[in-house]
Structure 1
Amino acid sequence: MKQKPIFIKKNSFDVEPFSTQKLEHSLLRSGASEEEIENIISKIQTEIYDGISSIEIYKKVFAYLKKSNRTSASRYSLKRAIFDLGPTGYPFERLVAALLREKGFKTSVSVILNGECVTHEIDVLAEKEGSVYAIECKFHSDANAVSNVKIPLYINSRFLDIQKQWNTNSKNTTHLKQGWLVTNTRFTIDAINYAKCVGLTLLSWDYPLNNGIKDNIDSFDLYPITTLINLSKDEKTTLISKDIILVKELYENKIVLEKMQITSDRIVKILNEVKELYKI
């Protein structure tokens, strides 16, 4: 007899049937072994029930993975780690700028530009091959938050104001080509359709398909320090306050761990985790 599906509550308050295939895919992407994945799925299947939240499942999976493979647990926690970059949006802007540099862009963060009508602060300004892109980053601390159509409407109007001023200024040797909107959560369908219509590039956790934030971070190993299991919450906050946002940056500034009076044994553990994530 076919087993009755178990329905789980998503962050958006929607419900969907629990999928072992989706869980397996997430664990594979984290780098877990086939044996680890099989063991975790078999345990989770005995513990879930109708109405369980996706957050509760995440916590259970993370706990099991942390016991068997701490590096994979760090990668598995990426979505939560990006939320932990808050409460301000600046660390997220730095992460977006770093991703763009990996793609060959020159970037600047928090740039003031004159528009035809008013002055605007641009979160990230990116330039490549003579074309410039004005990028607005919408960071959300709430996993349920989505960017509706009002956000790209507003961002596109700002971009058009800046574009008129930039491209008519004889001192500029580059062309302000396009506006971008980046968020760590999701866009509504109307927001996506509007952006397509006006030529605004969108980037979210999982959009575009197979080229969202998660895919890009995994591709370039640009993990935020908030993924590190061997750091405490307070230590992560301290590092972010020192403008160390990425695992890569922590590796390049190891001395900061000593200055934070972290014991040598813990520093070794932290740096071993860093090396695994950064694939050094």
Structure 2
Amino acid sequence: MIKKSIQVKKSSGEKVDFSLDKLKASLHRSGAGENDVSHILNIVRDELYQGISTNEIYNRAFALLKKKKSVFASKYKLKKAIYEFGPTGFPFEKFIGQVLKHSGYDTEVGVLVDGKCVQHEVDVVASKENRTLYVECKFHGEEGRNCNVKVPLYIHARYRDIIAETKIKGALSTEGWVVTNTRFTKDAIEYGTCAGLTLLSWDYPKNNGLKDRIDSLGLYPITVSTLLTKREKNFLLGRDVVLCKQLLGDSFYLDHLGISETRKSKILKDIQFLCNVSG
């Protein structure tokens, strides 16, 4: 037990009380067993000090998980792995397109759509039956930056111009979406909800946020891999391989990278297990 409250510094600069329960929950989500989780918690808890950063706590827990099993570390680093889609954010748009595709939609990324007043480039257009989603992705390459109310305000204006044109053409059902890899501010959520936009962030809506959808669909980004180097990940992203599942089907890219058969087998086995963990 911690005798007194330990203050930790978040990436935003805010100081909050350290939560053992939150750390425990994140470790369990990695797939690690109770004994491994308890062992890691005891080590991290003993190394805490006043003002320690959440990033330092994360790095320590990540290193310990990686020693236990690389796939646990991969799941644990999910949030940070999405930041690795930067700096342009274009791989994030492709990733969201894949998430919607695996949810049953026909998707296109980077589509020019006519509005009533001007033409718009929409990050993702997703269609299912007579329903069309116009999805704008707001990617942040660093932690601590949230989407404020200006984002849904701007996107709502663009969406209204698009649907004004689609109504003329007799489209049946449309939705405007705003997706971010970070979080929405309270005002952004209030405005987006009031305006009828669908908001999707790392943890919003509750229990159906981006992290929940990734886990339930097993759609882990290629950047979660702890066995691939940064250069190798960038090579794959440059060839539109944004999901671990994609690499299982396009493993020949590992041959292009000159990866040995032994290492290739290990990488694919790790990814196969990762995708199967979440079904």
Q: Distance in 2 between matches of 1:265 and 1:82?
A: 27
Q: Distance in 1 between matches of 2:92 and 2:226?
A: 19
Letter in 2 for 1:267: K
Of 220, 228, 232, the residue aligned with 2:229 is 232
Map 1:1-280 to 2 at 5 A. Answer: 3-170=3-170, 174-279=171-276
- 1:20 shift after superposition: 1.1
- 8 Å CA contact retained: 2:152, 2:191: yes
- 1:87 shift after superposition: 1.2
Where does structure 2 lack aligned partners over 5 or more consecutive residues?
none
SS at match of 1:235: helix
Figure out how many residues of one structure are paired with residues of the other and give that number. 277
Letter in 2 for 1:35: N
**RMSD of the alignment, in Å?**
1.3
| 1:79-109 superposed Cα distances (whole Å, 9 cap, x missing partner) | 0100001112221111111111222222111
SS at match of 1:265: helix
SS at match of 1:187: coil
How high is the sequence identity, in percent, across the aligned residues?
46
Letter in 1 for 2:127: E
- 8 Å CA contact retained: 1:182, 1:202: yes
- 1:264 shift after superposition: 1.4
For normalisation by structure 2, the TM-score amounts to: 0.96
- 8 Å CA contact retained: 1:166, 1:176: no
Q: Distance in 2 between matches of 1:175 and 1:162?
A: 13
Q: Distance in 2 between matches of 1:183 and 1:258?
A: 34
- 1:2 shift after superposition: 7.9
Letter in 1 for 2:225: L
- 8 Å CA contact retained: 1:108, 1:125: yes
Where does structure 1 lack aligned partners over 5 or more consecutive residues?
none
Please list every run of at least 4 consecutive aligned residues from structure 1 whose deviation after the TM superposition is greater than 2 angstroms: none
- 1:242 shift after superposition: 1.2
